[in-house]
Amino acid sequence: MDQISFQYLQLETSRGLHLDVSRNFQPKKEIYKLLEVLSMYKLNTFHFHLTDDEGWRLEIPGIPELTSVGSSRCHDLQEEECIVPQLGSGASKTAYGSGYYTINDYKDILRYANDRHIRVIPEISLPIYTHAAKRAMEVRYRKYMNYGNKSAAHQFLLTDFEDKTEYLTMQMFKDNAINKCMNSTYEFIRHVVRSIKDMHVDIQPLRTLHIGGDGMTDVWSNSSDCQTQKIVNGVNDTHHLRQHFVSKVSKILDDEGLSMAVFEDVLSNKNTLLNVTEISPKRDVMVLNWNNICEWGNGESAYKLANAGYNVVIGHATHLYLDHTHEPDPKQRGASWASRYIDTRKIFGFVPSNIYYNPDQDSNNKPFTQIDICPSNGICTTLKRPENIIGMQAQVWTEAMRTVEELHEMIFPRLLGVAERAWHETLWEKTEDKVERIRKTNEEWTSFSAALTKEFMRLDEMGVMYRLPPPGARLINGAVRVNTAFPGIHVEFSLDNEQTWSVVTTDMIIVGKEDVHFRTRSADGSRFSRVVTIKGN
Is residue 386 domain-shared with residue 519, that is, in the same domain? no
Domain stops at, among 394, 415, 450? 394
Higher pLDDT, 234 or 43: 43
Task: Report if residue 152 sits inside a domain.
Answer: yes
**pLDDT band, residue 116 (cuts 50/70/90):** very high
pLDDT in tens, 476-528: 777 778 899 998 899 999 989 999 999 988 767 776 667 899 999 999 999 99
What band does 231 get if pLDDT is binned at 50, 70 and 90?
very low
- Higher pLDDT: 284 or 505? It is 284
Do 195 and 287 belong together in one domain? yes
Cα separations (Å) of 129 from 47, 178, 366, 407, 464? 17, 9, 33, 22, 30
Same domain, 61 and 151: yes
Question: What pLDDT, on the 0 to 100 scale, is given for residue 166?
Answer: 78
Length of the chain: 537
Of 27-41, 59-73, 426-440, least confident by mean pLDDT is 426-440
Residue 139 clears pLDDT 90, i.e. is over it: yes
Q: Is residue 296 part of a domain?
A: yes
| CA 493 distance to own-chain centroid | 37
Residue 126 in 3-state DSSP?
Answer: strand
Q: How far, in Å, CA of 283 to CA of 281, rounded?
A: 6
pLDDT attached to residue 363? 74
Query: Residue 111 — φ and ψ, nearest 5°?
Result: -60, -45
**What pLDDT shows up at residue 172?**
81
Is the pLDDT assigned to residue 8 strictly greater than 50?
no
- Per mean pLDDT, which range of 144-158, 168-182, 323-337 is the poorest? 168-182
Least confident range from 80-84, 328-332, 404-408, 502-506: namely 502-506
**Which of 394, 426, 459 is at the close of a domain?**
394
Domain count, the chain: 2
Which pLDDT does position 96 carry in this prediction?
Answer: 81
Give domain status of residue 365, yes or no: yes
Q: How far apart are CA 147 and CA 155, in angstroms?
A: 14
The answer as to whether 336 is a domain residue is no
d(CA 335, CA 325): 6
Most confident of 4-18, 41-55, 369-383, 417-431: 41-55
What pLDDT shows up at residue 136?
98
Q: Is the pLDDT confidence value at 92 over 50?
A: yes
Which of the four pLDDT bands, split at 50, 70 and 90, describes residue 6? very low
| 125 occurs within a structural domain | yes
Instruction: Answer yes or no: do 362 and 510 share one domain.
Output: no
Q: Bigger pLDDT: 40 or 88?
A: 40
Counting residues of the chain whose pLDDT is more than 90, the rounded percentage is: 70
Report pLDDT for 284.
94
Q: Is the peptide bond before 487 cis (omega within 30 degrees of 0)?
A: no
What pLDDT does residue 270 have? 63
Q: Please report, rounded to a whole number, the percentage of residues in the chain having pLDDT higher than 70.
A: 92
Burial label for 382, CB within 10 Å (0-12, 13-18, 19+), is exposed
User: 485 with 387, same domain?
Assistant: no
Phi-psi region of 497 (alpha: psi -120 to 50; beta: other; left: phi over 0): left
CATH number for the domain that contains residue 505: 2.60.40.10
What is the value of pTM for the model shown? 0.94
Kindly state whether residues 487 and 358 are assigned to the same domain.
Answer: no
Element (H, E) at 262: strand 259-263
Render pLDDT for 410-447 as a digit per residue (tens, 0 to 9): 999 999 999 999 999 898 888 989 899 999 999 999 99
pLDDT tier for residue 278 given thresholds of 50, 70 and 90 = confident
Is residue 68 located within the same domain as residue 210? Answer: yes
pLDDT class for 12, splitting at 50, 70, 90? low
Mean pLDDT for the stretch of residues 341-356: 96
Segment 213-226 shows an average pLDDT of: 69
* Structural domain boundaries enclosing 507: 472-534
Q: Is residue 294 part of a domain?
A: yes
Helical (H) or strand (E) element with 146: helix 131-146
Is there a contact between 42 and 388 (Cβ–Cβ < 8 Å)?
no
Q: Give ∠ CA 23-270-371 in degrees, rounded to 5.
A: 90
Residue 479 and residue 390 share a domain:
no
CATH number of the domain to which 64 belongs: 3.20.20.80
Rounded to whole angstroms, the Cα distance separating 363 from 100 reads 37
Q: Of 369, 394, 419, which one is at a domain's C-terminal end? A: 394
Residue 2 has pLDDT above 60, yes or no: no
Q: Is 242 within a domain?
A: yes
Asked if the model's pLDDT at residue 10 lies above 50, the reply is no
**Within-domain flag for 325:** no
Report which listed range, 222-236, 264-278, 500-514, is most confident.
Answer: 264-278
DSSP assignment of 434-481 equals: HHHHHHHHHHHHHHHHHHHHHHHHHHHHHT-----PPPEEEEETTEEE
